[in-house]
Amino acid sequence: MGLFSSLFGTMASTYKCIQIDLKSNNKLTSLKGNSSAAANIAYSLPANDGSDGQVLKTNGSGGLNWASLAVTYNIATKTGDATLSATEFKNGFIKLDGTSAVVGITFPSAADVTGYICILKCINSTNVCSIASNVDGTTYTFSGENDVIIVISDGTNFWRVAWKSF
- Residue pLDDT, tens place only, 86-123: 999 998 899 999 898 899 999 999 999 999 999 999 99
Ordered by where they begin, the domains of the chain are 1-33 (no CATH), 43-70 (no CATH), 75-164 (2.60.120.1230)
pTM for the predicted model, two decimal places: 0.58
CA 32 to chain centre: 25
Instruction: Give long-range contacts, CB 8 A cutoff, 24+ apart: 87-95.
Output: 89/113, 89/116, 89/118, 89/153, 90/116, 90/118, 92/116, 92/117, 92/118, 92/119, 93/118, 93/119, 93/120, 93/121, 94/118, 94/119, 94/120, 94/121, 95/121, 95/123
Q: What is the pLDDT of residue 21?
A: 67
Average pLDDT over residues 1-9: 44
- The tens digit of pLDDT for each residue in 17-41 reads 676 666 667 776 667 777 777 777 7
Assign 16 a pLDDT band (cuts: 50, 70, 90). Answer: low
Assign 6 a pLDDT band (cuts: 50, 70, 90). Answer: very low
- The tens digit of pLDDT for each residue in 41-85 reads 777 888 888 888 888 888 888 888 898 877 666 789 999 999 999
Assign 2 a pLDDT band (cuts: 50, 70, 90). Answer: very low
Instruction: State how beta strands 27-31 and 18-22 pair.
Output: antiparallel
Assign 138 a pLDDT band (cuts: 50, 70, 90). Answer: confident
* Residue 89 φ/ψ, nearest 5 degrees: -65, -45
